[in-house]
C-alpha cells in the first residue's frame, strides 16, 4: 500500500503472538492531541447537525485518514495482512449516547454488556469466516474513553469461534484508554459495546482491511520464527495446536513444527484419556500432545473427528488443528464428515443458517484447509457432490490453502457455474486467494452478471446479484496485475449502481497499474470527488 508517510512501525514478535492467541493488539499512534480534539469536535458537529455518513465518513471527515497513515497503524496492518493490504469499502462511525437507564448494581451493567456480545458480519454479502487473517479491523477513539464511557469490550481468543457462548460473553475486557487509542483485531473476534454512564457521546470509528496475497515470510519485525505463547496472554484456554498453525501460516511455512517422538502405547493412553471424565484444560493438554506427535497420532483421528461441531468450542478448535497436524491420515475421515454433513443439510436434518450475515463453515473444512496440499484432490472431488453444503465447504477449504491449491483451479472455475450462488461466491473468493492460473475472464464476467434468482433481496437490501458482483470485484482486486485482461470490465464496473462494486474496481485498476487503468481511476474520482466543505448551509 503506497503512501507518502514515514516508515511503518511493524509489530514485534510479542505483539504478533498476542494478535494470534488473543486476537487483538492495542496501538497508540504518536499524534498531537489537537488532531484528536479536531476529529472529536467534528463528530459532535455531524451528530448534532447532519446524519451518520456510513461508508462516506472519510470524505466527510478527512482528518481520519491521518490516523490510518500513521507509522503505527500502517505497520500493524502490514504485520498482520502483508505489504499490499486492501482497504475495504465498509467503515462505520459508532456513537454511544449517554445511557438513560439506571443500573442498581455492577451485575446489571455486566449483564447488559454480555447481552450485547457479537461477531461482526462480513457486510451483507455474507463472506465466509476464516481463522486465518483475511480481514482485520481497526477501531479508533477520538476522546478519552474510560470504562464509564462505554468502550468496546473484547472477548479475547474468540476469533476462531463460529458462535459466541454464554461462557464467552462473561469474559469481556474493556478497551479503555486516552484519546487516540487504536484497537487492531482479527475481524471475527467477539466484542460488545460498553454502557456509557458519562454525560457526553462516545465516538468510535471502525475500518476494515483485507489481505491481498498469501504470506511468503513474516511481514512483521520477526526475530524468531519459533512459536511460543505471548507473555501477555488474555485468551482463557491453551490452544497451542491452533496458534502454532496460524503462526506458521503467517511465517509462510507450509508445514507444522517437527513432530515429537511418540510411541503407540503413549498415543493409546492419550486417546483413552480423552474419553475420561477430566477437565477441559486437561483435555486440551492431551490434544496439544497429540498435535505434537503429528502423523504418529493417526489412531486418534476417529475420536477427533467426532469432536468437530459437537463439543466445547475450545476443544473443537484444538481438534481442528490437531487433525491438521496429523495430516494425510485424517483426510478421508474429514471428507466423509463433510459429505455426511451435506447430506444432513439436504435432508433438512440440520440448518447451518448460512443465509445470514456471514458464512461459518464446517469444522472439517477448516481442518482440511490447514492440512494443505495433500487434501487438494479430495476436496476438488467434493466440488462434484450432490449436496450444496458439501460443495460450499470444499470450495472454501481450497481457497484457504492459497497457492497450494493451484491444481484445483479448473474445478473451481467449473464451480462458477454452480446452481448455488453460495458455491459461486465461495469459488470466486478461493480463486482470488489461490492466485495462480486463475481464469480472469471468467471472474470479470461476474462483475455485472445476473442469473435467474439473483435479484432476490437479502440483507440490508442487498441482492444476490450485488453479493456476487462485489465478490468478483474483491477477487480481481486481490489478483493485482494478473487481472489486467479484466481492465475494460473493471472500468465499466466503476459506474455500477451498487457502489461497493465500484469501490473495489478502483483499487483493482490501481493495482493493475497500467496508464489507462489509472487514468480511468483519476477520471472517475474527479467526477465523484466529495467536497467536505459543503454543508446544509453552504452548498458551494
Tell me: the pLDDT tens digits for 115-125? 999 999 877 67
How many domains are contained in the chain?
Answer: 2
pLDDT at 15 over 90: yes
- Rg of the chain over CA atoms, in angstroms? 23
C-alpha cell at 482: 494478473
Tell me: the pLDDT tens digits for 147-193? 999 999 999 999 999 889 999 999 999 999 999 999 999 999 999 99
Q: Residue 58: which CATH number?
A: 2.60.120.620
pLDDT at 233 over 90: yes
Cα 232 to Cα 268: distance, rounded to the nearest angstrom? 34
Cα 98 to Cα 216: distance, rounded to the nearest angstrom? 47
Domain stops at, among 186, 210, 234: 210
| pLDDT (0 to 100) of residue 357 | 61
Cα 375 to Cα 254: distance, rounded to the nearest angstrom? 13
C-alpha cell at 37: 480534539
pLDDT at 355 over 70: no
Cα 28 to Cα 180: distance, rounded to the nearest angstrom? 7
| pLDDT (0 to 100) of residue 124 | 65
Beta strands (DSSP E) in 9-143 are 24-27, 86-96, 135-141
- Tell me which of 531 and 472 has the higher pLDDT: 472
- Average pLDDT on 225-252 reads 97
Under the banding of pLDDT at 50, 70 and 90, the label for residue 532 is: confident
- Tell me which of 350 and 69 has the higher pLDDT: 69
| pLDDT (0 to 100) of residue 360 | 83
Burial of 137-155, coded b for 16+ CB within 10 Å and e otherwise, reads bbbbbbbbbbeebbbbbbb
Cα 497 to Cα 499: distance, rounded to the nearest angstrom? 6
| pLDDT (0 to 100) of residue 1 | 42
With vertex at residue 367, the alpha carbon angle to CA 365 and CA 371, rounded to the nearest 5 degrees, is 115
C-alpha cell at 507: 483499487
Looking at the domain assignment, is residue 144 inside a domain? yes
- The pLDDT mean for the chain works out to 94
Under the banding of pLDDT at 50, 70 and 90, the label for residue 257 is: low
Percent of residues, the chain, with pLDDT higher than 70: 96
Looking at the domain assignment, is residue 495 inside a domain? yes
| pLDDT (0 to 100) of residue 3 | 44
Domain stops at, among 177, 210, 243: 210
- Average pLDDT on 224-246 reads 97
pLDDT at 444 over 50: yes
With vertex at residue 248, the alpha carbon angle to CA 226 and CA 82, rounded to the nearest 5 degrees, is 110
DSSP for residue 278: -
Cα 368 to Cα 250: distance, rounded to the nearest angstrom? 18
Looking at the domain assignment, is residue 375 inside a domain? no
Looking at the domain assignment, is residue 37 inside a domain? yes
Tell me: the pLDDT tens digits for 287-333? 999 999 999 999 999 999 999 999 999 999 999 999 999 999 999 99
Count of beta carbons in the 10 Å neighbourhood of residue 481: 10
| pLDDT (0 to 100) of residue 2 | 42
Looking at the domain assignment, is residue 98 inside a domain? yes
Looking at the domain assignment, is residue 43 inside a domain? yes
- Tell me which of 100 and 404 has the higher pLDDT: 404
- List Cβ neighbours of 219 (8 Å cut-off, separation of 6 or more): 10, 78, 79, 80, 81, 82, 83, 250
What is the distance, to the nearest Å, from the Cα of residue 194 to the centroid of all Cα atoms in its chain? 23
Looking at the domain assignment, is residue 531 inside a domain? yes
Domain stops at, among 189, 210, 231: 210
Cα 97 to Cα 502: distance, rounded to the nearest angstrom? 34
Structural domain boundaries enclosing 88? 13-210
Q: Residue 445: which CATH number?
A: 1.25.10
| pLDDT (0 to 100) of residue 294 | 95
**Backbone φ, ψ for residue 57 (5° rounding):** -65, -35
Looking at the domain assignment, is residue 28 inside a domain? yes
Amino acid at each position: 500500500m503506497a503512501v507518502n508517510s514515514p516508515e511503518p512501525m511493524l509489530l514485534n514478535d510479542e505483539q504478533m503472538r498476542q494478535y494470534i492467541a488473543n486476537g487483538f493488539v492495542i496501538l497508540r499512534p504518536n499524534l498531537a492531541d489537537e488532531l484528536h480534539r479536531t476529529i472529536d469536535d467534528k463528530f459532535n458537529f455531524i451528530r448534532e447537525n447532519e446524519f451518520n455518513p456510513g461508508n462516506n465518513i472519510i470524505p466527510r471527515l478527512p482528518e481520519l485518514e491521518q490516523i490510518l497513515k500513521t507509522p503505527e497503524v500502517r505497520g500493524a496492518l502490514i504485520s498482520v495482512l502483508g505489504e499490499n493490504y486492501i482497504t475495504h469499502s465498509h467503515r462505520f462511525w459508532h456513537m454511544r449516547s449517554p445511557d438513560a437507564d439506571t443500573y442498581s448494581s455492577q451485575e446489571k451493567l455486566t449483564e447488559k454488556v454480555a447481552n450485547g456480545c457479537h461477531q461482526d458480519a462480513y457486510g451483507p454479502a455474507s463472506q465466509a469466516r476464516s481463522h486465518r487473517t483475511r480481514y482485520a479491523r481497526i477501531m479508533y477513539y477520538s476522546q478519552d474513553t474510560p470504562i464509564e464511557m462505554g468502550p468496546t469490550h473484547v472477548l479475547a481468543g474468540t476469533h476462531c469461534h463460529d458462535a459466541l457462548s454464554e461462557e464467552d460473553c462473561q469474559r469481556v475486557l474493556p478497551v479503555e484508554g486516552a484519546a487516540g487509542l487504536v484497537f487492531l483485531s482479527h475481524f471475527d473476534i467477539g466484542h460488545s459495546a460498553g454502557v456509557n454512564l458519562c454525560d457526553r457521546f462516545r465516538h468510535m470509528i471502525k475500518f476494515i482491511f483485507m489481505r491481498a496475497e498469501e504470506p511468503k515470510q513474516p511481514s512483521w519485525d520477526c526475530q524468531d520464527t519459533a512459536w511460543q505463547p505471548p507473555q501477555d496472554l488474555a485468551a482463557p484456554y491453551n490452544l497451542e495446536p491452533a496458534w502454532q498453525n496460524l503462526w506458521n501460516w503467517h511465517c509462510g511455512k507450509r508445514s507444522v513444527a517437527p513432530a515429537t517422538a511418540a510411541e503407540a502405547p503413549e498415543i493409546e493412553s492419550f486417546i483413552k484419556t480423552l474419553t475420561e471424565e477430566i477437565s477441559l484444560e486437561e483435555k486440551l493438554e492431551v490434544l496439544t500432545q497429540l498435535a505434537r506427535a503429528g502423523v504418529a497420532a493417526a489412531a486418534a483421528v476417529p475420536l477427533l473427528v467426532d469432536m468437530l461441531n459437537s463439543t466445547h468450542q475450545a476443544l473443537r478448535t484444538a481438534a481442528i488443528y490437531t487433525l491438521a497436524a496429523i495430516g494425510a491420515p485424517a483426510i478421508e475421515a474429514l471428507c466423509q464428515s463433510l459429505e455426511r454433513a451435506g447430506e444432513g443439510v439436504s435432508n433438512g436434518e440440520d440448518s447451518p443458517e448460512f443465509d445470514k450475515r456471514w458464512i461459518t463453515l464446517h469444522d472439517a473444512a477448516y481442518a482440511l484447509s490447514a492440512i494443505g496440499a495433500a487434501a487438494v484432490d479430495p476436496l476438488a472431488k467434493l466440488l462434484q457432490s450432490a449436496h450444496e453444503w458439501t460443495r460450499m465447504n470444499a470450495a472454501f477449504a481450497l481457497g484457504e490453502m492459497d497457492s497450494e491449491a493451484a491444481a484445483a483451479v479448473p474445478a473451481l472455475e467449473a464451480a462458477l457455474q454452480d446452481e448455488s450462488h453460495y458455491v459461486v461466491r465461495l469459488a470466486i473468493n478461493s480463486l482470488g486467494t489461490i492466485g495462480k492460473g486463475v481464469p480472469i475472464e471468467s471472474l470479470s464476467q461476474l462483475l455485472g452478471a445476473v442469473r435467474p434468482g439473483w435479484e432476490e433481496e437479502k440483507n440490508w437490501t442487498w441482492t444476490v446479484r450485488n453479493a456476487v458482483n462485489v465478490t468478483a470485484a474483491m477477487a480481481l482486486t486481490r489478483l493485482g496485475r494478473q487481472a489486467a485482461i479484466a481492465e475494460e470490465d473493471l472500468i465499466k464496473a466503476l459506474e455500477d449502481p451498487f457502489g461497493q462494486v465500484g469501490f473495489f474496481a478502483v483499487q483493482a485498476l490501481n493495482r493493475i497499474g497500467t496508464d489507462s487503468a489509472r487514468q480511468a481511476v483519476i477520471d472517475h474520482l474527479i467526477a465523484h470527488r466529495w467536497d467536505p466543505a459543503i454543508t446544509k448551509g453552504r452548498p458551494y
